[in-house]
Amino acid sequence: MRSLKVLILEDDPFQLMALHQMLNANQVFEVLTAISVETALRALERQGPVDIAICDLQMDGDDGLSLIGHLAATSLAQAVIILSSAEASVLDGAAQLARQQGINVLGVLQKPASVTAIGELLSEWLALVEMPGSASRSTTSELPALPPLDATHDYGAEWIAYFQPKVGLDGELSGVELLARWQHPSLGLLAPGLFLPRLEQAGLMPNLTWHMLELALSLSYRLLLARGRALPVAVNIPPQMLDQADFVPRLLLLLERFPVRPHMLTLEVVEQSARQMAVVQFENLLRLRMAGCRLSIDDFGTGASNIQRLLELPFSELKIPAEFVRGMADDRRKSAVVGGALFMAQKMALNVVIEGVETREDYEAVSMLGSPAIQGYFIARPMSEADLLNWLDELEHHPERVLGFRAVKPDRAPAGR
Ligand code: C2E
Ligand code: CA
Ligand code: CA
């Protein structure tokens, strides 16, 4: 329903990440983030106007008030939310100043903001602007004409997996992620963005997930038989599937059918809703860890997977999404965010995978920060099983042919420390 685009200006990387999560928890996924007025203006210039700007008031250098001034002059935001730890009178003064410049002030929030407080302000805004038929960009309207799905039909033969490797900065393979593709008889090879919403509508996500789990374990097991080493595989699990009481027993049965050690399997879970995790979900996560499977927080910092929750749940890995990495080379503040997450993960003994490492610049920027695993076009695009098998052979025998970088020795101290 919501297609809001929101800019966050906040100079503290952790608070920035938290706010981003709160927006996602409120179903807002088009988010520009900035750690200074200057980057905010650049982001607006590049990515166009936003509906709402959330502005932190106090910052080193130009402050939130100066962004508000720019917004008033350029109309690059329709409304602002003012955020600060200053006392109420300062907040009110700032709001008044903004209104005098013709800015629509949705609200003022004392730090720390909460999901609910932000949600309320967003709802108020939507109530103000939402008209029937107003241009809400729904993903489903952009779908090709997929014939109606039949929940009883077995699509297993058409649902295939592509595989994208994750490697350490030492060049070691840390595993492959399965990414679903639909080899559609009339529409050709479809990317998940095109069909996942449809599967969800049709209640077919569990079918897809079980199918992908089977493809993952079957490949891993075949490699164990053929080469003496199982392949570490990662599968995306919709969080709702953790509601099912039979999820873990059924997975254990699959692991009996394809007997690789459970830690060869990583379950990547994205959180999308802010609701308290149900007891059964928590139990299932714990049971999965007790069974030896690995759990990964996908798209860390963009879902409701907040830092508090991270401390409570038995995750073993976090994946930092492309949006934090993209252009990190030119943006010291982005590297501060990624560096901060890496630092925190290290303290909590979590593995980190950085996704969307697309260019040499991205790679070099990441390698300055520590030693996470990386995934992205710079290493390899998602590929078919046949291509993966060739790629793995090359990695083993001629790593220089497939890796775009010279592997660094594991004992190299991270730069800058
Ligand atoms: P994700 O889990 O975050 O997967 C990473 C996505 O980033 C993949 O898109 C991958 O192709 C893309 N990617 C990887 N490296 C780069 C890069 O360097 N640059 C850019 N621009 N993109 C890169 P894909 O395959 O289109 O999948 C999109 C999303 O669909 C996935 O995001 C995941 O959330 C979902 N998805 C895919 N397969 C499955 C599945 O089997 N089950 C479920 N539940 N979700 C799936
Ligand atoms: Ca994933
Ligand atoms: Ca991801």
Q: Do residue 360 and residue 239 come from a single domain? A: yes
Integer Cα distance of 138 and 39 in angstroms:
29
**Residue 232, ligand 1, Cβ within 6 A:** no
User: Sorting pLDDT into bands at 50, 70 and 90, what band is 131?
Assistant: very low
Q: Does 89 fall in a domain?
A: yes
Tokens 């590929």: give the residue: 383
User: Residue 286 and residue 372: Cα distance in Å, rounded?
Assistant: 25
165 plus 271 within the same structural domain: yes
**Same structural domain for residues 70 and 198?**
no
Q: Which of 115, 140, 165 is the last residue of a domain?
A: 140
The verdict on 189 and 240 lying in the same domain is yes
Tell me what percent of the residues of the chain surpass a pLDDT of 90.
41
Lookup: tokens for 3: 């297609």
Q: Are residues 124 and 192 in the same domain?
A: no
- Of the chain, the end-to-end C-alpha distance in Å amounts to 46
Residue 238: its pLDDT value, please?
92
Q: What is the mean pLDDT of residues 51-66?
A: 87
Is any atom of ligand 1 closer than 6 Å to the C-beta of 155? no
Q: Is residue 43 part of a domain?
A: yes
pLDDT above 70 as % of the chain:
88
Assess whether 119 and 189 both reside in one domain. no
- Does residue 408 sit in helix, strand or coil? coil
Rg (CA), the chain: 23
What is the C-alpha separation between 373 and 57, in angstroms, rounded?
36
The pLDDT score that the predictor gives to residue 317 is: 92
* Cα–Cα distance for residue pair 295/66, rounded to 1 Å: 43
CA 321 to ligand 3 center in whole angstroms: 5
3-state SS class at 369: coil
pLDDT at 370 over 70: yes
- Are the beta carbons of 404 and 360 closer than 8 angstroms? yes
Q: Where is the domain boundary, 108, 140, 172? A: 140
Q: Does 52 lie in the same domain as 166?
A: no
Q: How sure is the predictor about 161, in pLDDT bands with cuts at 50, 70 and 90?
A: very high
Q: Residue 361: its pLDDT value, please?
A: 87
Asked whether residue 416 is domain-assigned, the answer is no
Q: What is the pLDDT of residue 175?
A: 97
Domain containing residue 346: CATH number: 3.20.20.450
Least confident segment among 42-46, 328-332, 345-349: 328-332
Residue 377 CB–ligand 1 contact under 6 Å: yes
Averaged confidence pLDDT in the chain? 85
| Phi, psi for residue 58 in degrees, rounded to 5 | -90, 125
User: Do the Cβ atoms of 14 and 340 come closer than 8 Å?
Assistant: yes
Distance CA 413, CA 334 (A): 22
Residue 407 lies in a domain: no
Which of 112, 140, 168 delimits the end of a domain?
140
Expressed as residue numbers, the domain containing 243 is 149-402
Per-residue confidence band for 72, with pLDDT thresholds at 50, 70 and 90: confident
118 shares its domain with 193? no
* Same domain flag for 338 and 376: yes
Per-residue pLDDT at 416 exceeds 50: no
Mean pLDDT of 44-50: 89
In a domain, 318, yes or no: yes
- Provide the CATH number for the domain around residue 132: 3.40.50.2300
Residue predicted with more confidence, 277 or 284: 284
More reliable by pLDDT, 308 or 254: 254
Tally of domains within the chain: 2
Length of the chain: 417
* Residue 343 CA, ligand 1 centroid: distance in Å: 25
Supply 290's token pair. 């007790």
Question: Residue 256: pLDDT above 90?
Answer: yes
In a domain, 193, yes or no: yes
pLDDT tier, 145 (very low <50, low <70, confident <90, very high otherwise): low
Strands ordered across the beta sheet of 104-110: 30-34, 5-9, 50-56, 77-84, 104-110
Starting from the CA of residue 320, give the closest ligand.
3
Farthest CA pair distance, the chain: 72
Domain co-membership, 133 together with 281: no
At residue 276 the predicted structure's pLDDT band, cuts being 50, 70 and 90, is low
Instruction: For 54, list phi and psi in degrees, rounded to 5.
Output: -100, 115
**CB 234 near ligand 1, within 6 Å:** no
Per-residue pLDDT, 279: 79
CA dihedral 116→121→127→130, nearest 10 degrees, is -100
Query: Same domain for 252 and 361?
Result: yes
Q: Are 185 and 144 in contact (CB under 8 A)?
A: no
> Per mean pLDDT, which range of 40-49, 146-155, 321-330, 391-400 is the poorest?
321-330
Q: What is the pTM of this model?
A: 0.69
Instruction: Output the pLDDT for position 332.
Output: 77
Task: Classify residue 36: in a domain, yes or no.
Answer: yes
Q: Are residues 174 and 46 in the same domain?
A: no
Average pLDDT over residues 212-226: 98
Look at residue 127 and give its three-state secondary structure. helix
Residue 205: the pLDDT is 95
- Residue 344 inside a domain? The answer is yes
Among 155, 179, 211, say which to mutate for ligand 1: greatest number of ligand atoms within 8 Å of CB. Answer: 179
Q: Which pLDDT band, with edges at 50, 70 and 90, does 252 fall under?
A: very high
Q: In this model, does residue 281 exceed pLDDT 90? A: no
* pLDDT tens, residue by residue, 77-99: 889 999 988 887 788 788 888 88
CA distance 252 to 18: 35
Active site residues: 355
